[in-house]
Amino acid sequence: MVHGNRKAAGQPHATPRWVKVLGISAIAVVALAGLVMVTGIGGSHGPWRHMSAAPVQESTQQ
Amino acid sequence: MRAGPAIRRLLLLTHISTSVGLVGAVTGFLVLAMAGLSGSTVGQTVYPAMDLITQYVIVPLALVTLALGVLQSLITPWGLIRHYWVLIKLVLTIFVVVVLWLQLGNIRLLAGLPPGAFLGSEWVTTKFSMVLHSGGGLVVLLGATVLSVYKPAGLTRYGWNRRYGHAVASDLSGPDREGPESA
């Protein structure tokens, strides 16, 4: 598969549409995950939970 | 730095094997994580198995896949940050490795729980987290595989400047203006 062509040499750089779509989708997913964590819908979940010495809050006691 | 065709092909073979193997291993992990949600004593078997798969299959494959991907891009004309598909694959793989790293503590924790601990409801969030993260990881890895196969066109600004920048300045064009034919 050949990428680019000589015609592109005379044109300014442009971000491909598929990259823009992917970027917008990634932002939407991150925003949705942030919303879920901030509103507490997803429970006590989030990356910060892994940062402490104790990985989770739950107790091991029965 | 450029490598010969034999080395490039060997690296490509290894990279495909490890990355596709990683997809398979994560799929197995996901199935076990879903089985662990049942809340029955199956957790005593499932979570130690998930811990073993993670330690001896998923983590090594993820690290080797990342390392080989970087190495391969550096010794072929594709480069690491010249093409969007290579750059995005790199970001996705790093993201998977970081999330995996953050999950290791919880996997180990579930694997070390005493018998009967899985019957309670206090571990539901952690167990569901296993399904969520492995499912998300699988989607991301499949996305990276799609990028590898289709190699959608698109040069980054750096790649564009490297290929066309001096050509525009001096109005020159040469044989290296075309994109890589292989990799």
ipTM (interface pTM): 0.72
Whole-number pLDDT of residue B177: 43
Lowest mean pLDDT among A38-47, B46-55, B120-129: A38-47
For residue B165, pLDDT beyond 80: no
Question: Does the beta-carbon distance from A13 to B161 stay under 8 Å?
Answer: yes
Confidence class for position A47, pLDDT limits 50, 70, 90: low
Whole-number pLDDT of residue B55: 94
Which chain A residues are within 8 Å of B103, Cβ to Cβ?
Answer: 50
Q: Of B124, B103, B122, B88, nearest to B55 (Cα)?
A: B103
Average pLDDT, chain B: 86
List the single residue in B with minimal CA-CA distance to A29.
B136
Mutation for testing the B interface, residue in A1, A2, A3 having most B CBs under 10 Å: A3
Lowest mean pLDDT among A9-13, A18-22, B46-50, B124-128: A9-13
Whole-number pLDDT of residue B174: 44
In this structure, which long-range contacts are made by residues B29-36, counting pairs with CB atoms below 8 Å and at least 24 apart in sequence? B29/B53, B29/B54, B29/B58, B29/B130, B29/B134, B30/B131, B30/B134, B30/B135, B30/B138, B33/B127, B33/B130, B33/B131, B33/B134, B34/B131, B36/B110, B36/B118, B36/B127, B36/B130
List the single residue in A with minimal CA-CA distance to B159.
A13
Domains and CATH numbers, chain B: 5-169 (1.20.120)
Question: Does the beta-carbon distance from A4 to B168 stay under 8 Å?
Answer: no
Residue with the larger pLDDT of the pair B172 and B54 = B54
Q: Nearest CB to A9: which of B109, B152, B177?
A: B177
For residue A54, pLDDT beyond 80: no
Whole-number pLDDT of residue A60: 46
Mutation for testing the A interface, residue in B41, B155, B181 having most A CBs under 10 Å: B155
Question: Does the beta-carbon distance from B123 to A58 stay under 8 Å?
Answer: yes
CA distance B110 to chain A (A): 10
Confidence class for position B164, pLDDT limits 50, 70, 90: confident
Q: Nearest CB to A4: which of B116, B120, B179?
A: B179
Q: Nearest CB to A19: which of B103, B106, B154?
A: B154
CA distance A29 to chain B (A): 11
Confidence class for position B44, pLDDT limits 50, 70, 90: confident
List, as one string, the DSSP characters of B41-95: TTHHHHHHHHHHHIIIIIHHHHHHHHHHHHHHHHTSTT-SSSBHHHHHHHHHHHH
Q: Residue B160: phi, psi to the nearest 5? A: -65, -45
CA distance B18 to chain A (A): 23
